[in-house]
Structure 1
Amino acid sequence: MALAVLLSACGGGDDGGGGDNAGKEPEKAGSASSAPAEQPTADTDSGMTVPDTTKTLATINGSDGFQFVVHSAVRDQGGFLTISGTLKNTTSKLLVAKAQWSGTEINVTRTGPSFAGVTLVEKNEKKRYYVLRDTEGYPLTTTGVTSVKAGESVAVFAQFPAPPANVTQVDLQIPLMPVATIEIS
């Protein structure tokens, strides 16, 4: 399943607007909200498993107009946790991706823009989880997002080591954005 999410997220940066939360009023800048966890659904057109973008675990609003909507946090049997979501530009102007989202490690900076700087925190054990790296040192996350046009959105994912099975909630920390607590399914 993680491979399917990885492949679908690497396939392109435009989700065609399918993850739009139409009819929902945007939250004020610099806020985060959480909702109950939902399971991913199968995409019958491609045969791959993708997150159901109609479900929302959390909405994180940055003060600059970026909005990160978390659609799923799925634990797989291989010991991974994949977070899938949508990065939206809620303004009427082009927004440039934040350099801090990429992280500062030498191995991930060669990847270019990414979400390697995103972390998860498990509060009870006070453990921080970083985006996984492949054998070449590249982060297992969406890469290449340099900007988002006005009103558009981009599908994103990040893969982490899975917390212990008894952990059902983690804090998602995206640099320069508020922290959001999400449920793991």
Structure 2
Amino acid sequence: MLIVPALFDEANKMRHFTVEIMRALDEAGIDTMLPDLPGTNESCEVLADQSLSSWQSAMVGAAAYFEATHVLALRGGALCAPSDLPCLRYAPVKGVRVLNALLRAQTLADREAGRESTREQLSEQGKSAGLTLAGYTLSPAMFRQLEEANLPGHSFCDIAQTDIGGGGLWLRAEPDHDPDQARALARIVAERLA
């Protein structure tokens, strides 16, 4: 099973959770792999050169390389999931929701630094020249594609946060982990693959 991580800051907040899901799936006899999206973590690529399309292509390539038979996409990772494999999507979100979280974080950071910025100003700059939002340098292509990205509607099965209980870890101010949520999500995935 290919794991497509959450995007940007949500990936950081959910890193421990993601690893624990993989461990629980391994205990259930399900092999998993978690590739880095180009420009993130250990990737040698530059984030500013990436787009949602390049991330989708990378996940298609990873699925083929690892001979994945299924996909588990976390949150915004659903926007990058290969469309030719059965996919379970955990709390998937549209691209505009991912982008809005980054814009909100940037306007707050600007205000704290004594600078005034608005979403409208940041959006115009992002679409035309790209920009850095909350520490992530986005190309104009990435910005525009996130703004327009809807969730695909085929070969997918969604798992809502309410299905696993508790509050979403991506909503917390700092990275955190909930072992009960990780086990619950892994159990649901294993049941749906059976």
TM class by shorter chain equals under 0.3
Q: Which has the higher strand share?
A: 1
Q: Which has the higher helix share?
A: 2
TM-score computed with the length of structure 1 as normaliser: 0.26
TM-score computed with the length of structure 2 as normaliser: 0.26
